[in-house]
Amino acid sequence: MSSFQISITPSRRAAARFVRKVRAELQKAAVQSKASGGASQSDVARTIGVHRSVIHRELKGTSNLSLGRVAELAHALGKTPQFSLEDLPVKKGNLQTTVTVGETRAIDVSPRSSAPVQFYEVA
């Protein structure tokens, strides 16, 4: 039997994962804000100065999020983003060997980055 995986590079896999996590945090903040009587998407849009549909697309994932926009959205939702980088864990014994003409190269296959992103309430 054989399993199958869509082939994308580890760096793009890391990018997709990070984008997903950031967007999920923003979506969660937006839901919590609305549920607690805070800013709605319309309020956020007014604060930032765009149409509500722009915010909707950015939260839904059909529009890109710039770093600045992440901060704007967070602020409009009463949050501030925090960001840090961590070393990739190195998996021992997880070496792939490729053979090219005339040489053998060992490639260390490291898992993708799992840099955390968190949003904190604005003081």
Enumerate residues 6+ apart whose C-beta is below 8 A from 110: 10, 88, 89, 90, 91, 94
Tell me how far, at minimum, the Cβ of 49 lies from other proteins, in Å.
Answer: 22
Stretch binding other proteins (CB under 8 A), from 45-53, 59-67, 75-83, 96-104:
59-67
Q: Give the amino acid at 23.
A: R
- 3-state class of 70 per DSSP? helix
DSSP state of 79: E
Site for other proteins in 80-109 (CB under 8 A): 89, 91
Q: Which is nearer to other proteins, 35 or 123 (CB)?
A: 35
Return residues touching other proteins (CB under 8 A): 1-6, 8, 12-13, 15-17, 19-20, 24, 27-28, 31, 57, 60-64, 89, 91, 111-112, 114
